[in-house]
Amino acid sequence: MDQRRSDFRNASGPVTLFGEFTLSSNRKARCSVNLTEKDFIIQRLDSAPVSCRKVVLSLRDCVGSQAYRGDDGADPSAYFAAYFYPLKKRRWVKAAPARQRVEQCFRLAALQDPRANLEEAEKWARAVQERSARQQHLRDGALLSSLPRPCRLMLFVNPQSGKGKALTLYNSHIQPMLSEAGVIPTLIITERQNHAREKVREADLSQWDALVIISGDGLLHEVINGLLERADWEEAIRTPLGILPGGSGNALAASVHYYSGVSQVTSEELLVSCGFLLCKGQVSHMDLVSLHLSSNQRLFSFLSLAWGFVADVDVESEKYRHAGAARFTVGTLVRLASLRIYKGRLAYLPASRGSSTDKGLQNGAAACSTPSSAPRPLEDSFPNTCHSNNSLKLRRSEGRCPQSAPKDVHGPPDSLLPPLDQPLPSDWVLVPQEDFVLMLAMFQSHLAEDLLAAPDARLDDGVIHLFYVTAGISRKALLRLFLAMEKGAHLDTNCQQLVHVKVRALRLEPGSGKGVITVDGEVVDYGPIQAEVHRGLGRLISG
């Protein structure tokens, strides 16, 4: 027995618990089970094929463990099961590894007393749970905050999102996994638009440890704005949120998966990955962006603000919703055929701007190509709205720009934005071009499951990743950009019309006429709009 224990000493650290059981599926299959601080190690003691004689599973991949009695009352044995979701290669050659379920279940029958067997099984289940939680809490020596156990989840399901399969996906993939993790959620099936928003606005949040959605990004947009519409918004927005991809636009879910450092996957593999992260329950801060519309409405966004090509694709592709995430690919091809130019003015505050001295893009702004004429300080332009003297006065005299926020909107005050009809401060940069193909402000990495728009974005980097494409780009070059974006390589395409700038705030004044602006994939009023990032304002369950 000692020999079996010491076999594992070097690989996984000292064995802290050791036992010999049979597999629950095969009573003739005897195994030694070793638990170290990091790993769960099973070694077959019978004449099993060499390939399955020894299995080492990382406790980081474990979502839970349970002990139970068998169905047969006359049988004194007890069982314990541990549930893992390790990354595994898939059969087809090119596919990235994805998380796949591995259940290990053992029968304990050493004693005649059924209670004693059950106690032993419970000791094992507890030991596995505690060690896997410890692995989770301590990463790189830092203590991370996690959801409590048992965990009270309010889980919103949008039955209309994507292909209309969110509930089926929940039942087939998520419900079993949550149950393995000992989490029993309260399900709310949304009945209409803004249903989740109303529920969240009125909920007694002391009853819930987290609010989770299974849908696309639109439903989380409702939940976040619902929280910030509450009188107790400061406390409410600290409620941990979770996202499970069940819509057609699953960009935040793809971003969370990407930040966990695992290769890109889509569809159900992405769902399993996000379900796994939810079970692990690690909570991180997430940036939220405050937006002001010309209608005087204020709202918050966690993902994106789009105008021009991307916004048009967002809206036009609604009719291909049944295609799921592929709707954006189809929409992009259709819109390319009728590519057009959008007139407007765009200004921003660079992320690292410390003083009002303007040095074009080089100050904190990473341009992927230098625009044909460099951006200039606001003094020379926006003749109707921007006037340097006024702007300076606004900034210097008041320090914090006053906001005329609508009555029912809460959230922290914006410190960088003057009211939308007032000139901008002089340390903002005005983009010299007024003919655009698209403007896309990203607050997280992914624009869709398979579009890595801002590869270096992080959940709470406090940065808006502003991209714009000016007129003059060919259809072919634009298509190349979107194809490269699948791997986040669009910034390497040397496209002269594409600019990427890291900013803290921006203002867009689209030209007159009709048009589309989307926020988190949802359409908002068309007209002037401005944004300011609030670093780490929200909290999200992520990896």
Active site residues: 217
Q: How far is the CB of 247 from Mg ion (least distance, A)?
A: 5
Does position 193 interact with ligand ADP (CB under 6 A)? The reply is: yes
Site string for ligand ADP, 495-524 (x = CB under 6 A): --------------------------xx--
Is the distance from CB of 390 to CB of 422 less than 8 angstroms? yes
Instruction: Work out which of 64, 76, 185, 216 binds ligand ADP, going by CB under 6 A.
Output: 216
Q: Which of residues 67-86 bind Mg ion (CB under 5 A)?
A: none
Instruction: Work out which of 226, 249, 281, 411 binds Mg ion, going by CB under 5 A.
Output: 249
Q: Which segment (208-216, 289-297, 398-406, 460-468) binds Mg ion by CB under 5 A? A: 208-216
Q: Name the binder of 191 from Mg ion, ligand ADP, none, CB < 5-8 A by kind.
A: ligand ADP
Does position 281 interact with ligand ADP (CB under 6 A)? The reply is: no
Instruction: Work out which of 65, 117, 161, 266 binds ligand ADP, going by CB under 6 A.
Output: 161
The residues, any chain, with a CB within 8 Å of residue 200's CB and separated by 6 or more, are: 211, 222, 223, 226, 227
Per-residue DSSP letter, 520: T
Total interface residues for Mg ion by CB under 5 A? 4
Beta bridge partners of 523: 518
Q: Name the binder of 162 from ligand ADP, Mg ion, none, CB < 5-8 A by kind.
A: ligand ADP
Q: Compute the distance between CA of residue 327 and CA of residue 321 in angstroms, rounded to an integer.
A: 6
Q: Which segment (28-36, 152-160, 236-244, 493-501) binds ligand ADP by CB under 6 A? A: 152-160
Q: How far is the CB of 436 from Mg ion (least distance, A)?
A: 23
- Tokens for 181, please give them: 């993790």
Which residue number has the CB closest to Mg ion?
218
By the 10 Å C-beta count (0-12 exposed, 13-18 middle, 19+ buried), 261 is classed as exposed
Q: How far is the CB of 453 from ligand ADP (least distance, A)?
A: 16
User: For every residue of 420-488, which 3-state class applies, written as one string?
Assistant: CCCCCCCCCEECCCCEEEEEEEECCCEEECCEECCCCCCCCCCCEEEEEEECCCCHHHHHHHHHHHCCC
* CB closer to ligand ADP, 243 vs 289: 243
User: For every residue of 109-146, which 3-state class applies, written as one string?
Assistant: CCCCCHHHHHHHHHHHHHHHHHHHHHHHHEECCEECCE
Instruction: Work out which of 218, 246, 418, 423 binds Mg ion, going by CB under 5 A.
Output: 218
Q: Compute the distance between CA of residue 207 and CA of residue 232 in angstroms, rounded to an integer.
A: 15
Pairing of strands 283-293, 298-301: antiparallel
5 alpha-carbon distance from chain centroid: 41
Q: Name the binder of 287 from ligand ADP, Mg ion, none, CB < 5-8 A by kind.
A: none
- Tokens for 261, please give them: 């450092």
Long-range contacts, 230-236 (Cβ 8 Å, 24+): 230/201, 230/410, 231/410, 232/205, 233/410, 233/411, 235/205, 236/205
Instruction: Work out which of 324, 521, 538, 543 binds Mg ion, going by CB under 5 A.
Output: 521
Q: Which of residues 424-453 bind Mg ion (CB under 5 A)?
A: none
* CB closer to Mg ion, 64 vs 216: 216
Is the distance from CB of 176 to CB of 278 less than 8 angstroms? no
96 alpha-carbon distance from chain centroid: 19
Is the distance from CB of 326 to CB of 317 less than 8 angstroms? no
Q: How far is the CB of 221 from ligand ADP (least distance, A)?
A: 7
Site string for ligand ADP, 411-450 (x = CB under 6 A): ----------------------------------------
Is the distance from CB of 279 to CB of 64 less than 8 angstroms? yes
Does position 215 interact with ligand ADP (CB under 6 A)? The reply is: yes
Does position 248 interact with ligand ADP (CB under 6 A)? The reply is: yes
Q: How far is the CB of 385 from Mg ion (least distance, A)?
A: 32
The residues, any chain, with a CB within 8 Å of residue 213's CB and separated by 6 or more, are: 155, 156, 157, 158, 196, 219, 220, 223, 241, 242, 243, 244
* CB closer to ligand ADP, 255 vs 385: 255
Instruction: Work out which of 192, 407, 476, 514 binds ligand ADP, going by CB under 6 A.
Output: 192
Does position 164 interact with ligand ADP (CB under 6 A)? The reply is: no
- Tokens for 398, please give them: 């008041």
Instruction: Work out which of 160, 267, 296, 369 binds ligand ADP, going by CB under 6 A.
Output: 160
Q: Name the binder of 219 from ligand ADP, Mg ion, none, CB < 5-8 A by kind.
A: ligand ADP
Does position 240 interact with ligand ADP (CB under 6 A)? The reply is: no
Nearest of 84, 80, 43, 42 to residue 60 by alpha carbon:
84
Is the distance from CB of 246 to CB of 157 less than 8 angstroms? yes
Report the greatest alpha carbon distance in the chain: 90
Q: Which segment (3-11, 86-94, 243-251, 473-481) binds Mg ion by CB under 5 A? A: 243-251
Half-sphere exposure (CA, 13 Å, Cβ side) for 383?
0
Instruction: Work out which of 12, 66, 77, 190 binds ligand ADP, going by CB under 6 A.
Output: 190
Instruction: Work out which of 162, 331, 488, 543 binds ligand ADP, going by CB under 6 A.
Output: 162
Does position 219 interact with ligand ADP (CB under 6 A)? The reply is: yes
* CB closer to ligand ADP, 66 vs 190: 190
Nearest of 205, 202, 207, 212 to residue 181 by alpha carbon:
212
Does position 331 interact with Mg ion (CB under 5 A)? The reply is: no
Pairing of strands 186-189, 153-157: parallel
Identify the residue whose tokens are 């890291």: 502
Instruction: Work out which of 64, 185, 216, 375 binds Mg ion, going by CB under 5 A.
Output: 216
Q: Name the binder of 160 from Mg ion, ligand ADP, none, CB < 5-8 A by kind.
A: ligand ADP
**What is the number of other CB atoms lying within 10 angstroms of the CB of residue 260?**
15
- Tokens for 85, please give them: 């979701």
Q: Name the binder of 518 from ligand ADP, Mg ion, none, CB < 5-8 A by kind.
A: none
Q: Which residues bind Mg ion (CB under 5 A)?
A: 216, 218, 249, 521
Q: Which residues bind ligand ADP (CB under 6 A)?
A: 158-162, 190-193, 195, 215-219, 222, 247-249, 521-522
